A and B are shown apart, each in its own frame.
Chain A
């Protein structure tokens, strides 16, 4: 579970000890321009989130500055109509968004693993029940369900929202894990593990999960992206504690104070750009994982030449 949050840290640590082996694993992240960009954007936001109190010049909630300022030297992103510093809000929001996003992404991946791996490995009636639940959560419209839950919970914090998002959004991962487990379950090394007397639980944890690490990592990326978008959407609709600090809440305040109609672009552009950049970095890094795990996407050079030839003829 740690591998995907701190590939950077891993890389730093490893590079001093096993420079070459570490570089080999991480090579696709850097040889490909797309994934390198994604990785760098991600690092920037990760550092912003960790060092938010040091970076932000002011308190994100103090309403003590001149209201409705356009960006100035003192207030880089301007101020709100109640005189809060938008740049500080932006920085602190990065922290909440990263915590909620990755928290929910990792939690939903774990739930997905439990449903997918157990169902795929056990088969039979267990599988039938677990896949029914998975498919049910897959087809139920996620945001509508979230909104209805919020309606009864009322003004929850970002962290509570993260939990709900994880508990409603794990199904896609479970389906992928299930089919992968089913292909792995028939392999020889699983039979060998069974012969050697390993329990089913140990086989699932020590044999099956490590063999689909790349899928798990990819799933965490996508689940995190989904969680960030869902949290932002809920907060934007006003279904999150409106005093919390997150990019979605910033957008909620911007739109409820009609920043659009006053031309206050500095209020609603930065939060969206923040969400989009974090999301983009996740998609780009996932692209690198895809390139590593799906050789067909790479081998297609041959195909291209064939295509050209066919096109010419």
Chain B
């Protein structure tokens, strides 16, 4: 229970920190970007929009504390401002439109990569010095060293441009009207295939190598040797004895993994012009759409924090030592 409270406390504190970073960054940058931005948009936007912008970035207001309270209030009432680029579309509407794309793409790719990677890791640790054990780590190292977005560019070039197997960009064929029917869904799937494979391959290696090393450590434990001497069948030894314990440290590396996948997806979405949240963030930055930048960064940060909280809580369910506080500082 203490562990759960501890994790919840960390979650709340880090949430607060993310929100505050989002508030402070535009205000502490050299050369006051808010002023520059304001000058840039003068004449382009309606007076009402300029007023809202002034308020949002504290131009003409001196009290930082008031700005902060206003900012927090707007945040929790889902009043995230209006996009500059697609004025007067509320930022929250644009976010709502792009979240399902990223969630579907990143979510499915991550789950698949955890599952496939962990299984492969178990397999190659069992078949030590086999063909797969010698080649897979090297192959996965190459994937680890390769930039996600470059791999995405290669896929676009080979499978989109040369072979014409898959579409090269966008979330679905713009000629099809979105709806819950076969043509639309198959269009979505074929458009998601290449970006999905990019994310899968990019993150797979970490899970394989991590699981392999955990397995090797676990297989060296006395209780495994004992079970083996006792005559436990090898598949049971592998999965019920070794893999079950080796999988725990995998969960702790989830924090860094999910961050990598999100980073990878920002770049991948850009390559494929995929209509997700990462693409929104980058195009908002290029077009200096500050409300959109703030909202999409916050959303990305919060979803990563929530994913981590879920994993942490799951971890305490799976590992009783955590709940009793027996294994605080390992790993």
Which of A's residues lie within 8 Å of B, judged by CB?
A: 34, 132, 135-136, 138-145, 147-154, 172, 179, 182, 225, 229-230, 232-233, 236-239, 251, 255, 260-261, 263, 265, 268-269, 271-272, 275-280, 282-284, 287, 294, 296-297, 299-300, 303-304, 306-307, 310-311, 313
Residue on B nearest A182 in the bound complex, by CB: B329
How many angstroms from the CA of A239 to the CA of B137 in the assembled complex? 33
Say yes or no for B147: interface residue by CB 8 A criterion.
yes
Nearest-neighbour CB distance to chain B for A33, whole angstroms, equals 10
Nearest-neighbour CB distance to chain B for A127, whole angstroms, equals 10
Residue on B nearest A138 in the bound complex, by CB: B255
Stretch at the interface among B68-76, B78-86, B150-158, B182-190: B150-158
Residues of chain A within 8 A (CB-CB) of B263 are 141-144, 230, 233
Query: How many chain B residues touch A (Cβ–Cβ < 8 Å)?
Result: 71
Contact (Cβ within 8 A) A296 B220: yes
Contact (Cβ within 8 A) A139 B141: no
Residues of chain A within 8 A (CB-CB) of B128 are 300, 303-304, 307
Contact (Cβ within 8 A) A272 B154: yes
Residues of chain B within 8 A (CB-CB) of A265 are 157
Residues of chain A within 8 A (CB-CB) of B220 are 296, 299-300, 303
Residues of chain B within 8 A (CB-CB) of A306 are 225, 228
Nearest-neighbour CB distance to chain A for B329, whole angstroms, equals 6
19 new A-B contacts at CB < 8 Å, known A140-B301, A233-B147, A299-B220 = A135-B10, A139-B14, A142-B259, A144-B297, A145-B301, A151-B290, A179-B329, A182-B329, A233-B148, A233-B263, A237-B270, A237-B282, A238-B286, A275-B145, A276-B145, A276-B150, A304-B129, A306-B225, A310-B228
How many angstroms from the CA of A73 to the CA of B173 in the assembled complex? 42
Q: Which of A139, A143, A275 contacts B146 (CB 8 A)?
A: A275
Residues of chain B within 8 A (CB-CB) of A282 are 145
The 8 closest A-B pairs by CB, nearest first: A279-B145, A143-B263, A272-B150, A152-B29, A280-B145, A151-B285, A276-B146, A304-B128
Residues of chain A within 8 A (CB-CB) of B150 are 232, 251, 268, 271-272, 275-276
Residues of chain B within 8 A (CB-CB) of A268 are 150, 153, 157
Residue on A nearest B29 in the bound complex, by CB: A152
Contact (Cβ within 8 A) A236 B329: no
Residues of chain A within 8 A (CB-CB) of B148 are 233
Nearest-neighbour CB distance to chain A for B45, whole angstroms, equals 19
Residue on B nearest A275 in the bound complex, by CB: B147
Contact (Cβ within 8 A) A239 B285: yes
How many angstroms from the CA of A306 to the CA of B29 in the assembled complex? 61
Residue on A nearest B151 in the bound complex, by CB: A272
How many angstroms from the CA of A225 to the CA of B285 in the assembled complex? 25
How many angstroms from the CA of A96 to the CA of B154 in the assembled complex? 24
Say yes or no for B25: interface residue by CB 8 A criterion.
yes
Residues of chain B within 8 A (CB-CB) of A299 are 220
Stretch at the interface among B48-56, B59-67, B111-119, B211-219: B211-219
Contact (Cβ within 8 A) B237 A310: yes
Residues of chain A within 8 A (CB-CB) of B301 are 140-141, 144-145
Residues of chain A within 8 A (CB-CB) of B168 are 260
Nearest-neighbour CB distance to chain B for A310, whole angstroms, equals 4
Nearest-neighbour CB distance to chain A for B322, whole angstroms, equals 15
Q: List 26 A-B contacts (CB under 8 A).
A: A135-B14, A136-B13, A136-B17, A138-B255, A141-B301, A143-B266, A144-B278, A145-B297, A153-B29, A225-B145, A236-B149, A238-B286, A251-B153, A268-B153, A268-B157, A269-B154, A271-B150, A272-B146, A272-B151, A272-B154, A275-B147, A275-B150, A278-B145, A280-B142, A284-B141, A307-B234
Residue on B nearest A268 in the bound complex, by CB: B153
Contact (Cβ within 8 A) B25 A152: yes
Residues of chain A within 8 A (CB-CB) of B219 are 300, 303, 307
Residues of chain B within 8 A (CB-CB) of A148 are 22, 25, 281, 285, 293, 297
Say yes or no for B175: interface residue by CB 8 A criterion.
no
Nearest-neighbour CB distance to chain A for B223, whole angstroms, equals 14
Contact (Cβ within 8 A) A144 B146: no
Contact (Cβ within 8 A) A138 B256: yes
Contact (Cβ within 8 A) A151 B157: no
How many angstroms from the CA of A261 to the CA of B128 in the assembled complex? 44
Bits for B250-286, please: 1 = Cβ < 8 Å to A, else 0: 0000011001001100110011000000100110111
Residues of chain A within 8 A (CB-CB) of B26 are 152
Contact (Cβ within 8 A) B145 A283: yes
Contact (Cβ within 8 A) B271 A311: no
Contact (Cβ within 8 A) A141 B300: yes
Nearest-neighbour CB distance to chain B for A108, whole angstroms, equals 14
How many angstroms from the CA of A297 to the CA of B220 in the assembled complex? 10
Nearest-neighbour CB distance to chain B for A273, whole angstroms, equals 9
Nearest-neighbour CB distance to chain B for A89, whole angstroms, equals 16
Say yes or no for B331: interface residue by CB 8 A criterion.
yes
Q: Which of B14, B145, B267 contacts A237 (CB 8 A)?
A: B267
Residues of chain B within 8 A (CB-CB) of A287 are 137, 141
Contact (Cβ within 8 A) A297 B149: no
